[in-house]
Structure 1
């Protein structure tokens, strides 16, 4: 898939000739958090200095899902969001290799020769300090540096990135924070507002009858987000940005057996979003899900939620240039 000069290559898709010989950042990059961005920014710097393309090589599904399918791994950045963030950061392409047990069985040397040299024709590789590859994780950045010397490309290893408190930024920390509803802290580690992407679908239209029509989205089954009410911004497919308030959960007052839905009431908007793929960026967690004693009580609380979300969003400031591109 090519969008505005950015290529999203999946599975066995061949790399276009114009992208061969580039700088390649390698990793799973679930979260695209500040630690990941340290690796990605270094790759961009190398590519600019050398005047060659900048690419990301990643893997889908997440390797842990292949080796431990019995343990759910909530994704912070599913593949479409990861690809979008890669484009917004300024990369020329993301190469998404299918991760299977056969692929995992490649030796470290075969991974280098088959994937990096033959398929990508890498000019330079950038990895994090903890990157492992090849059968039984036999390859690491040191192994890669030694192997690269005889194969005509360079390697840069980026050390662990710590937050202002001295703790290493990790996807597991961010998952725990989002599951607890601590959106500001999670956003601080991400360096941008946590964002989901999905198609707007038809619902039961109860919100419309209450004066709160919502854009309804189904998130992945293992979505890493506490059920509750959030101050959000919704970006349409055409780029238009709108403040709003969103509920994520099972709607206990009106639909106790329903699947979890993200329902976003978009402020000052009239129109039809059905069928559009939109982004929703999360700024603050306002409260948990509650079961109210009837629709009047629910409506009163929804009005309070709306005003609180307006107030919260009125004073927000970008966390980074990436945050500007995503949610401002």
Structure 2
């Protein structure tokens, strides 16, 4: 287990402090997760204990049912960054291995929540389960927790958008359909991908629209192939949790296998408007704002060049008043009232 603290410390224990803990995997840190985090912050303040979100170093299905592991909406570092913005003081990242998966609900409470995390209060979604085969529920935790000094167990109701529950599964479906605007409404922020700039074939530069090719982790969800309006900012290579503070740039991003040039394999490449420079070796974060058009094969490079010019004009029009703020607006009072 590793404990990540908001001030940058990393420890192996909770440092002799009682905690209010939110439980979940928190992939995407969407509106439903934000409601849990807001409840944890409130519990921490009222009980004068440390607010902690308890999560895992990998998706639990990677051990329980490996063939069913979904593509991820966030990396652990990205999740932590969203958590800090919500006022969470520490993140406990448990190693999800076969031993942890075999713990009974009683053992999970005794060994992990009480023994390792000194939990005084818990908040979790109504569908959260824990322990071997998911037998533990918040109702069970409320009943058994009192024996171990857990004073309060809060079941956080689901957040509904458009009459449907906000969930990571629903967001994945929207992104796989290219509906990045609907996904952003459920996330509470634009969907983001980050990675190092890697060497490409240089075709964009020859067309007059140089691009930065982004290397994306295999575990991450890449939206549907297409052309998108995006904003881009540089991230420090050594720490994916903290952006440089540099202003976001506007860009046109393509996700495709380059059918015009008989490409093989999916590429993610972005043309930054009004920016010239060498981005190789840098780490860029992409925020998706709008799906512009599907990928199609063009009869010639000239036709493709003309279409890219149309795409650039569309993005300029969309961001005519400047790119949106790069920060995630996460006031706890607003989230908790959802």
TM-score, with length taken from structure 1? 0.89
- List per-residue Cα deviations over 1:205-258 (Å, max 9, x = no partner): 22122222222112233524101100001111222211111011212112421x
Q: Is the 8 A contact 1:75 1:224 kept in 2?
A: no
Deviation, 1:95, is: 1.8
Cα distance in 2 for partners of 1:254, 1:322 equals 43
The equivalent of 1:248 in structure 2 is 255
Q: 1:264 aligns with which of 257, 261, 270?
A: 270
Residues 2 and 204 from structure 1, CA distance in 2 versus in 1: closer, same or farther, beyond 3 angstroms? farther
Question: What residue ranges of structure 1 are gaps of 5+ in the alignment?
Answer: 324-328
1:138-160 Cα deviation digits (max 9, x unpaired): 11001111222122222221112
Root mean square deviation of aligned Cα: 2.3
The 8 Å contact of residues 183 and 284 in structure 1, kept in 2 or not, is answered as: yes
Name stretches of at least 5 consecutive residues in structure 2 with no aligned partner. 236-243, 332-338
Q: Tell me: CA distance 1:108–1:22, structure 2 relative to 1, closer, same or farther (3 Å).
A: same
Q: Could you say which residue in structure 1 is the equivalent of 2:157?
A: 159
Distance in 2, matches of 1:82 and 1:97, equals 14
The structural deviation recorded for 1:317 is 5.8
Contact 2:20–2:51 (CA under 8 A) maintained in structure 1: yes
**If the length of structure 2 is used for normalisation, what is the TM-score?**
0.86
Rounded to whole Å, the distance in 2 between the matches of 1:239 and 1:295 is 37
Confirm or deny that 1:212 pairs with 2:192.
no
Task: Name the SS for the 1:54 alignment partner.
Answer: strand
Report the counterpart of residue 43 of structure 1 in structure 2.
40
SS at structure 1 position matched to 2:181: helix
CA distance in 2 between counterparts of 1:106 and 1:2 reads: 24
> Aligned residues, how many?
316
Give structure 1 regions of 4+ aligned residues with deviation exceeding 4 angstroms. Answer: 1-4, 315-320
CA contact (8 A) 2:6 2:89 kept: no
Alignment map for 1:155-304 (pairs within 5 Å) = 155-163=153-161, 165-221=162-218, 223-237=221-235, 238-240=244-246, 241-257=248-264, 259-304=265-310
* Residues 266/317 of structure 1: CA separation in 2 closer, same or farther (3 Å cut): closer
Q: C-alpha distance in 2, partners of 1:200/1:15?
A: 36
- Partner Cα separation in structure 2 for residue 78 and residue 2 of structure 1: 14
